[in-house]
Amino acid sequence: MRKKILVFLLLITALSVSDGLAQGKSNKKGKDKTEKQDKQDKKEKSNKGNAYGKNKGDLSGREFGQQRAAEARAKALKEIDEAEREIEETEDNIKEAKEILERKRRSREISDREYEEKEEEIKTVDQKIRSLKEKLEERKKVLKESSDDSETSSEKIKQTEETIKEIRKTNKDVLKN
């Protein structure tokens, strides 16, 4: 049994070695063609992908980077404007909530204790909105200043986005109450 396995392995190795030796000269030409095809494939594939720099066109690296920074700044400013609108809506909701609370107190639908609790909640939300509004104004100022310097830190933009998220969360809290 061992002899048969050994003979079988020797046969397989001999056949594989003879195939490799028989194609000695033509193998070199084949490699050249495959290398050329590989290079062409890489050139074709280099235009595809998800990276931002793939579609920069005729722009140099620096110009492209500045363009991307300007786009990021513009996007952040647009989001700030949307957040300002949301703050205004939230402030309107707070005013409306105060009016409703006063009306309920006058008509004795709620007790003085409930009135004080609700009023405290409204004041807390109002203070939070004011602080967020100040943060937003600060971020807006920083972004506008950085557009003059042509330097925008991604950290500043992230801080702005976080502030906007806080505003939206606060707005939802106001609407719940």
68 vs 161 pLDDT, higher one? 68
82 vs 7 pLDDT, higher one? 82
Cβ atoms within 10 Å, residue 48:
8
Q: How far apart are CA 100 and CA 174, in angstroms?
A: 13
User: Is residue 129 a part of any domain in this protein?
Assistant: yes
User: Is residue 33 a part of any domain in this protein?
Assistant: no
User: Is residue 54 a part of any domain in this protein?
Assistant: no
133 vs 13 pLDDT, higher one? 133
Amino acid (one-letter) located at 98: K
Does the pLDDT at position 47 exceed 60? no
114 vs 1 pLDDT, higher one? 114
User: Is residue 29 a part of any domain in this protein?
Assistant: no
Contact 67, 59 (CB under 8 A): yes
* Residue 88 belongs to domain spanning: 62-176
User: Is residue 83 a part of any domain in this protein?
Assistant: yes
pTM, whole model, 2 decimals? 0.52
Select from 88, 78, 74 the least CA-distant residue to 130: 88
Does the pLDDT at position 18 exceed 60? no
User: Is residue 101 a part of any domain in this protein?
Assistant: yes
pLDDT, tens digit, 9 for 90 and up, residues 137-155: 888 888 777 765 544 566 6
pLDDT at 139: 82
pLDDT, tens digit, 9 for 90 and up, residues 20-31: 555 555 555 555
Question: Domain count of the chain?
Answer: 1
pLDDT at 79: 85
27 vs 85 pLDDT, higher one? 85
User: Is residue 107 a part of any domain in this protein?
Assistant: yes
Does the pLDDT at position 117 exceed 50? yes
User: Is residue 42 a part of any domain in this protein?
Assistant: no
